[in-house]
Amino acid sequence: MENQYLEKAHNWWSDLHYSSTQKRALALVALLVLLISGLFVARGASQEVVAAPIALEVQEITQEIIVDVAGAVITPGVYSLPLNSRVVEAIKAAGGLKKGADTSDINQARILKDGEQIYVFAAATSSGGMAKRVVRKNGPVMINRATVKEFEALDGIGPVLANRIVAYRKINGPFTAIEDVMKVSGIGAGTFAKFKEKLRV
């Protein structure tokens, strides 16, 4: 069978109306086509299969802040809260307010900062049992509500500077951060460092 095919191919080749030079050129072209085809087939068969990259799972990190809740709350202590929590949520985490707690100088809607302290004062009572506001010398000073006398209780603050703080607040509006106190004439970084730990917005 193979001999018949070879004989037919030989006869076909002999019957071609080409010169010997043209036949050699045709044979060379055919050989090149076969070689190139073979290379493509071999390359395709040996090509490595690349696995699809494995997607790495990104662990979601929940950001938290830590605050200290003290004073007239049920369970004072240090609590972890979600980022952008508000003062009211910190008070709830501490069990809520005690009976008679004074929140008049606390902005419960304010967004908390990491590491800060929320101090809730207990209302003082007079001899008749009525709650009254007192000058607080030991606890934090709420700079947007404090009186001249309360500012005077701070280290390095006398009557003149205390009045300047209150006057500045009346003219320019509430402070947005405790560092804003340094905008008041006469209060530099050195003076501010003496009492900054006692200030709250």
Instruction: Name the CA radius of gyration of the chain, rounded.
Output: 44
Q: Can you give the pLDDT at residue 98?
A: 92
The DSSP element (H or E) to which 79 belongs, if any, is strand 77-82
pLDDT at 166: 92
Q: How far apart (Å, rounded) are the C-alpha atoms in residues 201 and 197?
A: 12
**What pLDDT score does 65 carry?**
93
In the CATH scheme, what architecture does the domain 137-201 have?
A: Orthogonal Bundle (1.10)
pLDDT score recorded for residue 2: 56
Q: How confident is the model at residue 23 (pLDDT cuts 50, 70, 90)?
A: low
Read off the tokens for 34.
């076969």
What's the number of CA atoms in the CB half-sphere (13 Å) around residue 97?
Answer: 16
Predicted local confidence at residue 103, as pLDDT: 82
Cα–Cα distance for residue pair 146/134, rounded to 1 Å: 11
Task: Supply the pLDDT for residue 74.
Answer: 94
CB-CB contact of 188 with 199 (8 Å): no
Question: What digits encode the pLDDT tens for the residues 76-117?
Answer: 999 999 999 999 999 999 999 999 888 876 788 888 888 888
Judge if pTM exceeds 0.85.
Answer: no
Which range has the worst mean pLDDT, 21-30, 72-81, 86-95, 119-128? 119-128
Q: pLDDT of 133-188, one tens digit each?
A: 444 545 688 888 888 998 998 988 999 999 999 999 989 888 888 999 999 999 99
Better-predicted residue by pLDDT, 64 or 3: 64
Q: In what order do the strands lie in the sheet with 117-122?
A: 77-82, 64-71, 117-122, 101-102
Q: What is the pLDDT of residue 12?
A: 62
Q: Do domains 60-134 and 137-201 have the same CATH topology?
A: no
60-134: CATH number: 3.10.20
CA triplet 80, 112, 77: central angle to 5 degrees?
Answer: 40
Q: If you average pLDDT over every residue of the chain, what do you get?
A: 79
Taking 90 as the threshold, does the pLDDT of residue 42 lie above it?
no
Higher pLDDT, 129 or 119: 119
Q: Are the C-beta atoms of residues 83 and 71 closer than 8 Å to each other?
A: no
Domain ranges of the chain: 60-134, 137-201
CB atoms within 10 A of CB 182: 14
- 141-142 vs 199-200, strand pairing mode: parallel
